[in-house]
Amino acid sequence: MARRTESDAGDRFDAVADDLYGLPPADFTKARDAHAVEARNDGDRPLAERIRALRRPTLAAWASNLLVRAQPDEVRGVLELGEALRTAHRDMDGARLRDLSAQQRTLTVALARQARALAADAGQTLSDQALAEVRDTVAAALADPDSGTAWASGRLAHTLTPPAFPTVAPEGIARRSDRQKPAKAQPAAPGKVRDLGRARARREARERLAAARRAAREAAAHATRRERAAETARTRAQEAGRRHQQARDHLAELRRDLAAAEQARHDAADAERQARHEAQHAEREVAEARRTADDAAAHAERLAAETDDTGDTDDTGDTDAPNAR
């Protein structure tokens, strides 16, 4: 048998993950555990553990995954729009930002509605809160390339949260054409101050983004640790439940054996009483028979004695009897 490579294991994991995150949340856990057992039976323990670590998606995350799988062209459009928005923001292109931000709002709402319709077709109803989470996920994918990659994978277990700071410049930012005009009536110093302020704002925004990403990674890692601990606790609980059931079954068997032994004891006691009664009756009969035998023997001895006495008398008195006849 050919040795399985890491690439093969990775391909198998991707196939399993794609399959699982396409299922309704209610079917996720049972299918995941079945895949993990299959991998373990195949001797691939690391793959089984990776599969077991996959988390069941929330309803909003599942709807987001459903949207990604059903609308791949829309996904590419979102990622391209997100890149264009970030570029326009870096360039401080106010006109471009206003145009793209309008597209962003329209696209976010439209995709959320598509997700709700797809979920309804699959027999699931999205609440207003879940719909808002889907919109936030699309907004996060537009704002952050890492979030966009995670969303486009179609394997979200939880919805995404957009950055706290705006991804588009406010309406007050000057248009590129305005910035390119010479500032005839403005002294140089105020312009430098504005440039420094903008640079500082961008730097602070990047720092907030980095902090938010770190916080998100830490929260995700903490959630993963908690989920693993919960999974371990569930496994222990299941094992304890099995042992408890085994103990109950054993106790029931012992009780049945005890009941049978108790019945056997009662039967034996009844048999003993009956045998003792019969033995006593037999002893009485034996005693009676012995008395009868003793009486018969005594009677026989008396008869024998009497016979002996009578014989002696006859011998003496009847000596001439034959001649007489």
- Write b or e for each residue in 50-85: b if 16 or more Cβ atoms lie within 10 A of its Cβ, otherwise e: bbbebbbbbbbbbbbbbbbeebeebbeebbebbebb
Q: What is the pLDDT along the chain (325 residues), one digit of tens a residue?
A: 445 566 677 789 999 999 999 999 999 999 999 999 999 999 999 999 999 999 999 999 999 999 999 999 989 999 999 899 888 888 887 888 888 888 888 989 999 999 999 999 999 999 999 999 999 999 999 989 999 999 999 999 999 998 764 444 333 333 433 333 333 334 334 444 455 566 667 776 776 776 766 666 666 666 666 656 666 677 677 777 778 888 888 888 888 888 888 898 888 888 888 888 888 988 898 898 889 999 999 999 889 988 887 665 444 444 444 444 3
Q: What pLDDT is stored for residue 243 in this prediction? A: 81
Residues 154 and 21: beta-carbon distance below 8 Å = yes
- Distance in Å from the first CA to the final CA of the chain: 131
Q: CA–CA separation, 268 vs 118, rounded Å?
A: 75
Residue ranges in the chain assigned as alpha helix (H): 6-20, 25-41, 45-52, 59-70, 72-91, 94-121, 128-143, 145-152, 176-180, 188-317, 321-324
Token pair, residue 6, equals 């890491």
Q: What is the pTM of this model?
A: 0.50
Query: HSE (CB half, 13 Å, CA atoms) of 269?
Result: 6
Residues 6+ apart with CB under 8 A from 272: none
Q: What pLDDT is stored for residue 247 in this prediction? A: 85
Q: What pLDDT is stored for residue 179 in this prediction? A: 39
Token pair, residue 121, equals 């077709």
